[in-house]
Amino acid sequence: MDANERLVSFDDEPLIVVDEQDNVLGYQSKAEVHRGAGILHRAFSVFLFNHRGEVLLQRRSEAKPLWPLYWSNSCCSHPRRGEGLLEAVERRVPEELGVAPDVEILFRFQYDAPFGERGSERELCSVFLGRSGEAIDANRREIAAWKWTSVRQLEADLQLAPDLHTPWLKLEWALIRDQHRSTLERYTRMSEHPRKECLS
């Protein structure tokens, strides 16, 4: 099997069930925590930027049970039982994207998002930012398509076609833009030019 078609996500993988203060309550399978209204569990989202200050978006695989073929942030997943957040990020980003960037945690927040009768996301999600100059080698089992896009274009796309994007992308991007502007500007500043990109 081609490395970028490797199976890296499993319905029975044990995820970390938590309360709203992030205290561990136990462990349940990925399928169980996303069933019905969902069970609160730890998760993470990563936004990767390149040297031009563009952010990487991925279009989720058609095989995903929740939000298939929706555009989302660079990578999002869950730490498994016995796995720390950074350890999980350092595992999952290479599994999905074929790159291994340095990342930093920006904030943590809780959200609930139902997807009709198929299930729900109910996550205590830690959001990371990172930068990568490596070529993306996307795992085709997880990702249908990907693109680098400017902040300005992302803002326009979220305004014009919000229903094509995952709910967590929209929530996280609004928090990054509105509450962490200085950090965002550090990542969107082109490395070969000191000018900052203006945010609309």
Residues with catalytic annotation? 76, 123
Gap between the Cα atoms of 89 and 87, Å rounded: 6
CA 29 to chain centre: 20
Q: Which of 150, 157, 185, 166 is nearest to 61 (CA)?
A: 166
